[in-house]
Amino acid sequence: MDGNSQYILVPGGLGFIGSHTVVELVAEHNENVIIVDNLDNSNLVCLERLHKITGKPDNIVFVNLDILNTEKMEEEVFSKYPIKSVIHFAALKSVGQSCKKPLEYYHNNVCGTVTMMQAL
């Protein structure tokens, strides 16, 4: 990509909804995206499929990272790539699990978003 490229950051971009969004952004709108995903509820097979479906693997950057890691987000994402927008899908989403572990869900979903926004 050229030095003037801007990126759409898609945390959780290898999950179900995130990956469909990436396909739309890349294949239909020719956007450059950075997927940040900790692979908690996804796997790298999805990334391979995104490359195949879009036919534009150079438009997709993948960073295996948890958005709660502020230092690494700054080091591996925000300091390297010009971000023009964010579509945030990095969240835990199991209703049953969230009732059993509400603080874990709250920490991940709320604090993860706040951490990312602070880095932005």
Q: Given a cut of 60, is residue 86 above it in pLDDT?
A: yes
Note whether residue 92 is domain-resident.
yes
**pLDDT for position 3:** 59
**What is the phi-psi region of residue 25: left when phi exceeds 0, alpha when psi lies from -120 to 50, beta otherwise?**
alpha
Q: What is the mean pLDDT of residues 54-81?
A: 95
The model carries a pTM of 0.90
Note whether residue 1 is domain-resident.
no
Query: How many domains are there within the chain?
Result: 1
Retrieve residue 99's tokens. 């009732």
CATH number for 66: 3.40.50.720
Range of the structural domain that residue 106 is part of: 7-119
Note whether residue 2 is domain-resident.
no
**pLDDT for position 2:** 53
Mean pLDDT of the chain: 93
